[in-house]
Chains A and B, each alone.
Chain A
Amino acid sequence: MLDTIGLSKIEDLVAHLPKAVRYDKPLAIAPGRSEYDILDYFKERGSENAAAGGNGYACFLGAGVYNHYRPVMVDTVVSRGEFLTSYTPYQAEISQGTLTAIFEFQSMICQLTGMDVANASMYDASTAVPEAAMMAIRATGRSHILTARTVHPEYREVLHTYTQHQGIPLDEFGYDATSGLIDIEDLSRSITKDTAAVIIQTPNFFGIVENVKQAAAIAHEHGALLVVVFSEAVSLGLLEPPRDADIVAGELQSFAIPPSYGGPFAGVIACKEKWIRQIPGRLAGETKDANGNRAFCLTLATREQHIRREKATSNICTNQALIALMATVFLAVYGKQGLRELAVQNLSKAHYLAGKTKTIFSGPFFNEFVVRSEFKGIAEINRELEAKKIIGGLPLEKFYPELKNTMLLCCTEMSRKPQMDLVAEAFA
């Protein structure tokens, strides 16, 4: 086979890879061991991992990826062959199951966000946010994007990647050092007549619930659209939907999508009906078949890249059908009341732990909050917690140099009182 492709040895296949990224030592596994021996060995070593929600570890790390319970029903449904192996539902006549599931998904997202239209999902929030910004640019004919510094720092990085080579000016406005809410005065100062979108996140990266109405009023007064971002979808079970937004972009990882080292997740874009033709990706719509029966099909696809080529609304025409289905099943399992109860548990537990620590912001928070350590370094606290089989919070200094010796902590329904008390003690 090597002869046919003009190579002499197997290593030639990877010769183009830099030496620095190649492992050139023999694997640290004795030769001649059976497959089940090796599996046992790796399972044993794997059990040493400090895994969120696994191997006996408690997790207080959030910051965009959350440790929530995944109902058993979720994997049972998504692993059905009809969903797991199905191709894009271009042929409506053989894809009614997938299309119905997408339509259900879109309907649920509209109910949660208070928007009129939701697409069939995005990769994740970090790609949904810049796509929402591009929508606003197309809708307003303006080019300036203004984002709050309290939007997830990694979402802002992807936004920067999108804008930097397209001549789109991107600016940030700050937060109030006392409340942790967006700095309204800084927003008013920074917004211009060329601002296409104001982007805020709620609960914001510090876990604090923003005043969407107030931000919307300022954006609209200047003719800009308001994009509201969320990273913790469970908050929507309790908080008022961001109805005053023009576009909502969010992350659904909290809805039964495993953390999996950071993906794959599913994002969402929803908007007011007025902007439906600017929405990227695909939409499932309700229609009637030849016999007048209720049926579903992809709709408004004429702007996608397989038809419109380089003039397509977006180059993201992919959706996360299977992952979005996890979220759909999750929402169906919990229901409206169940999601509310889940959100209340998250809120109550976070407020219990926050009450025992020194939080630095006074704004209302959901299930995350920022704590300052007065006596020890943040890294030291996390090391101490790890020894007690607890994954601590996120040190914030990396993203916010001004927030020295602070940690973003997160409680979910999975947090238990004994571990919460140990976290509080670690700060003492």
Chain B
Amino acid sequence: MYPENFRYTKEHEWVHVENGVGTIGITDHAQHELGDIVYVEVPKVGTHVEQGKSFAVVESVKAASEIYAPVSGEIVEANDALTATPELLNSDPHVAGWIAKIKLSVPEEIDRLLSPTDYQAYLGEG
């Protein structure tokens, strides 16, 4: 369920870092809690984001929720497919439902994130 090579936040985002670029999305748990997602406000390419700060908005039939950046850096790509098909976040949150790619400015921030085991333990506590 939760890929081994991803890192996770307590706010239910995931990040997958390859060659200094982190692909970011929301976890399967998050999409399940939000319900049917109807709109995703993706960030503009070139925007600088900071770890823990809001950088996107996901709107479901229940609520509009902030998505917090798991790492700091510059947005290098946004998943524009989500504009037309926001439901990808529900159907495939860890692959096709990625939200944005960030070029990491502080790579060691990754160490502060949760491993899949820790994240699942955190969910278990909740």
Interface residues, chain A, CB within 8 Å of chain B?
Answer: 141, 277, 302-303, 307-308, 311
Query: Given that A141-B44, A277-B39, A277-B41 are known contacts, is A311 also in contact with B63, CB under 8 Å in the complex?
Result: no
Q: Is B32 an interface residue (CB 8 A)?
A: no
Closest to B41 in A: A277
Question: Would you call B39 and A308 a contact (CB within 8 A)?
Answer: no
Question: Would you call A302 and B63 a contact (CB within 8 A)?
Answer: yes
Q: Is the interface of A mostly helix, strand, loop or mixed?
A: helix
Question: Would you call A308 and B44 a contact (CB within 8 A)?
Answer: no
Interface residues, chain B, CB within 8 Å of chain A?
Answer: 39, 41, 44, 59-64, 66
What's the least CB distance linking B113 to chain A, in Å? 24
Closest to A302 in B: B64
Q: How far is the CA of A9 from the CA of B61 in the complex (A)?
A: 55
Closest to B59 in A: A302
Query: Cβ of B44: which chain A residues have Cβ within 8 Å of it?
Result: 141
Instruction: Show 18 residue pairs from A and B whose CB-CB distance is below 8 angstroms, ordered by the A residue.
Output: A141-B44, A277-B39, A277-B41, A277-B59, A302-B59, A302-B60, A302-B61, A302-B62, A302-B63, A302-B64, A303-B59, A303-B64, A307-B63, A307-B64, A308-B63, A308-B64, A311-B64, A311-B66
Query: Cβ of A308: which chain B residues have Cβ within 8 Å of it?
Result: 63-64
Query: Cβ of B60: which chain A residues have Cβ within 8 Å of it?
Result: 302
Query: Cβ of A302: which chain B residues have Cβ within 8 Å of it?
Result: 59-64
Q: A277-B59, A302-B59 are in contact. List 12 more A-B contacts (CB 8 A).
A: A141-B44, A277-B39, A277-B41, A302-B60, A302-B61, A302-B62, A302-B63, A302-B64, A307-B63, A308-B63, A311-B64, A311-B66
Q: How far is the CA of A307 from the CA of B63 in the complex (A)?
A: 7
Query: Cβ of A277: which chain B residues have Cβ within 8 Å of it?
Result: 39, 41, 59
Query: Cβ of A307: which chain B residues have Cβ within 8 Å of it?
Result: 63-64
What's the least CB distance linking B33 to chain A, in Å? 15
Closest to B60 in A: A302
Q: How far is the CA of A141 from the CA of B45 in the complex (A)?
A: 12
Q: How far is the CA of A303 from the CA of B66 in the complex (A)?
A: 11
What's the least CB distance linking A23 to chain B, in Å? 50
Query: Cβ of B62: which chain A residues have Cβ within 8 Å of it?
Result: 302
